[in-house]
């Protein structure tokens, strides 16, 4: 609250009503539209031999093997599939 008062005094009302610009912009998403589509197609496909269904770790490893992305974690894969509501896992 104190920061808001200080900004009001120093920069005016408009500065208080709008968001403060980020000092460090967010990073770009790892899975853009094309890569997301490839991941979804992979998740909807047949699971590897010896597995009944895809796991998030298997999907992450296979995405790296197929060079869809350089590296990824199973948590990033989970968020991507959750966002698109395509998770069959």
Asked if the model's pLDDT at residue 27 lies above 90, the reply is: no
pTM: 0.66
The pLDDT of residue 58: 96
Count other C-beta atoms under 10 Å from residue 21's C-beta: 6
Asked if the model's pLDDT at residue 87 lies above 60, the reply is: no
Asked if the model's pLDDT at residue 32 lies above 80, the reply is: yes
Asked if the model's pLDDT at residue 70 lies above 60, the reply is: yes
Contact residues for 36 (Cβ-Cβ < 8 A; gap 6+): 80, 84
């Amino acid at each position: 609250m104190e920061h808001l008062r200080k900004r009001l005094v120093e920069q005016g009302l408009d500065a208080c009503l709008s968001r403060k610009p980020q000092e460090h912009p967010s990073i770009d998403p790892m899975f853009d539209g094309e890569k997301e589509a490839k991941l979804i197609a992979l998740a909807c496909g047949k699971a590897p031999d010896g597995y009944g269904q895809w796991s998030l770790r298997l999907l992450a490893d296979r995405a790296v093997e197929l060079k869809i992305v350089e590296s990824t974690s199973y948590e990033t894969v989970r968020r991507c599939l959750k966002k698109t509501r395509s998770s069959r896992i």
